[in-house]
């Protein structure tokens, strides 16, 4: 079975219950959050043999993260438990409270975390190196590059190693709070070392200073595929096949979705898209899988929504362009809406 390995930090996530301002909160909901482990759980839900490589602290947060990943059929043999450094933590600040928290919608407590101590040494762990060697897909993100110089050098080592048939995907995953005062140009360098790059248009403006598709491709000429997501509008895959350096352009409109909460949609999109790629599907089919997985997450609270069953998923993915344009997703249910001519 094809295996996928996702590398990155996952944190304990605390959210004030009933979205009360943080300073008035008496109860905090305890969950977990991490872009790459979200993708890992998404890939596992698509039926792939999936593993997560990271580090957690020897604390209840770390134990909870490992338990949740195992519960979602993600292998954790490549996770180190740090006896000293703690598991990272973040707080999702309710929107009306963000001004009192410096305008930020998340507060990170991840400096010096167990995962921020990942580095080239991580590759000498035999469990990690064997997972990476046997993977058909290694998934990385720009978040890791911002965590510490050691984490950045881990990404560089993975991206520079001989591929031997493996594909490496890189989700830019721009996080303003992590890049303040840091050199963001490393993101362009890392993206050009990857085979598949995913970036949101809004993120591209921050990370690369442009949202222009042609300009982005000029800045990132090396990946075989550059996927540019434009939220509710569409996602575009620009390919560069070795035989045809001109490449191809596939654009698939996003679905109509009654959005409940946007967090995690990008990770779900990545899982959907990358699963299509691993199953050998074309760009159009893979982009559709991305939109379907994202829509499932957008209609629930939390970082991941359940997928439709296999038969319904196949029917949705096989639909004609007109039928696709008429799909509406609400409460995780896919239905046909009437389209005004
Ligand atoms: N308002 C929306 N309506 C429909 N689909 C959406 C909407 N917002 C996001 N999506 C879906 O989620 C995907 C990821 O969106 P994006 O904004 O890039 O996520 P993130 O900011 O979490 O990385 C999009 O490509 C699309 O499939
Ligand atoms: O911010 C971080 O460092 C995290 O990893 C936590 C978040 O749970 C995911 O990043 C959600 O990501 P999106 O799918 O882009 O909404």
**What residues contact 58, with CB distance under 8 A and at least 6 apart?**
81, 82, 83
Q: Which of 10, 34, 91 to mutate to test the pocket of ligand 2 (most atoms within 8 A of CB)?
A: 34
pLDDT the model gives residue 246 = 64
Nearest CA to ligand 2 atom 4: 34
Whether 82 is a known active-site residue: answer no
Nearest CA to ligand 2 atom 9: 35
Ligand 1 contacts CB of residue 254 (under 6 A): yes
Ligand 2 contacts CB of residue 267 (under 6 A): yes
Selection from 200, 207, 158, 211 nearest residue 186 by Cα: 207
Containing 123, the helix (H) or strand (E) segment is none
Query: What interface predicted TM-score (ipTM) does this complex get?
Result: 0.95
Selection from 315, 314, 305 nearest residue 259 by Cα: 305
Ligand 1 contacts CB of residue 259 (under 6 A): yes
291 CA to centre of ligand 1 in angstroms: 8
What are the φ/ψ torsions at residue 108 (nearest 5 degrees)? Answer: -100, 135
Ligand 1 contacts CB of residue 200 (under 6 A): yes
- DSSP 3-state of 134: helix
- Which pTM value belongs to this model? 0.95
- DSSP 3-state of 195: coil
pLDDT the model gives residue 241 = 62
Ligand 2 contacts CB of residue 33 (under 6 A): yes
Q: Which residues pair with 16 in a beta bridge?
A: 28
Containing 164, the helix (H) or strand (E) segment is none
CA distance 81 to 84: 9
Q: Which residues pair with 336 in a beta bridge?
A: 327
160 CA to centre of ligand 2 in angstroms: 25
Smallest-distance ligand from the CA of 175: 2
pLDDT the model gives residue 261 = 86
Task: Report yes or no: 13 and 276 within 8 Å, Cβ to Cβ.
Answer: no
pLDDT the model gives residue 54 = 98
CA distance 96 to 216: 34
CA distance 133 to 3: 10
Q: Both ends of the chain: CA-CA distance in Å?
A: 45
CA distance 127 to 122: 10
Selection from 144, 155, 150 nearest residue 179 by Cα: 144
From the candidates 82, 171, 195, 267, which is the catalytic residue? 267
Containing 152, the helix (H) or strand (E) segment is helix 149-160
Task: Report yes or no: 268 and 293 within 8 Å, Cβ to Cβ.
Answer: yes
Render 231-284 in DSSP notation, one character per residue. Answer: TTTEEEEEE-BTTBTT--EEEEEPPEE--S--TTHHHHHHHHHHHHHHTT--HH
264 CA to centre of ligand 2 in angstroms: 6
Burial class (CB in 10 A: 0-12, 13-18, 19+), 46: buried
265 CA to centre of ligand 2 in angstroms: 9
> Can you give the residue ranges of every domain in the chain?
1-161
Residues of the chain below pLDDT 70: 96-104, 241-246, 338-341
Ligand 2 contacts CB of residue 303 (under 6 A): yes
pLDDT the model gives residue 240 = 83
Nearest CA to ligand 1 atom 26: 231
pLDDT the model gives residue 263 = 86
CATH architecture label of 1-161 = 3-Layer(aba) Sandwich (3.40)
- DSSP 3-state of 114: coil
DSSP state of 319: -
């Amino acid at each position: 079975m094809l295996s996928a390995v996702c590398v990155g930090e996952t944190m304990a996530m605390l959210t004030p219950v009933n979205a009360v301002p943080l300073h008035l909160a008496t109860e905090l909901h305890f969950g977990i959050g991490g872009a790459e482990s979200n993708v890992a759980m998404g890939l596992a839900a698509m039926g792939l043999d999936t593993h997560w490589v990271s580090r957690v602290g020897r604390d209840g947060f770390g134990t909870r993260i490992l338990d949740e990943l195992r519960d979602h059929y993600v292998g954790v043999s490549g996770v180190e438990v740090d006896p000293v450094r703690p598991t990272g933590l973040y707080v999702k600040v309710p929107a009306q409270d963000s001004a009192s928290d410096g305008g930020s919608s998340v507060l990170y407590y991840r400096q010096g975390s167990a995962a921020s101590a990942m580095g080239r040494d991580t590759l000498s762990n035999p469990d990690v190196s064997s997972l990476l060697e046997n993977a058909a897909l290694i998934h990385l993100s720009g978040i890791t590059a911002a965590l510490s110089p050691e984490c950045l050098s881990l990404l560089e080592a993975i991206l520079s190693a001989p591929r031997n048939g493996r594909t490496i995907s890189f989700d830019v995953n721009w996080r303003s709070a992590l890049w303040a005062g840091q050199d963001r140009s490393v993101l362009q360098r890392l993206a050009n070392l990857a085979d598949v790059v995913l970036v949101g248009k809004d993120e591209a403006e921050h990370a690369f200073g442009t949202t222009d598709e042609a300009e982005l491709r000029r800045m990132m000429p090396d990946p075989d595929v550059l996927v540019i997501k434009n939220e509710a509008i569409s996602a575009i895959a620009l390919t560069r096949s070795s035989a045809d350096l001109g490449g191809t352009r596939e654009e698939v409109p996003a679905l109509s979705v009654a959005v409940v909460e946007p967090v995690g949609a990008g990770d779900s999109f990545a899982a959907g898209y990358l699963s299509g790629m691993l199953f050998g599907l074309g760009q159009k089919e893979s982009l559709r899988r991305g939109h379907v997985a994202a829509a499932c997450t957008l209609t629930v609270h939390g970082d991941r929504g359940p997928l439709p069953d296999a038969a319904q998923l196949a029917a949705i993915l096989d639909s004609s362009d007109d039928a696709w344009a008429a799909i509406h997703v609400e409460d995780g249910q896919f239905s046909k809406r009437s389209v005004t001519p």
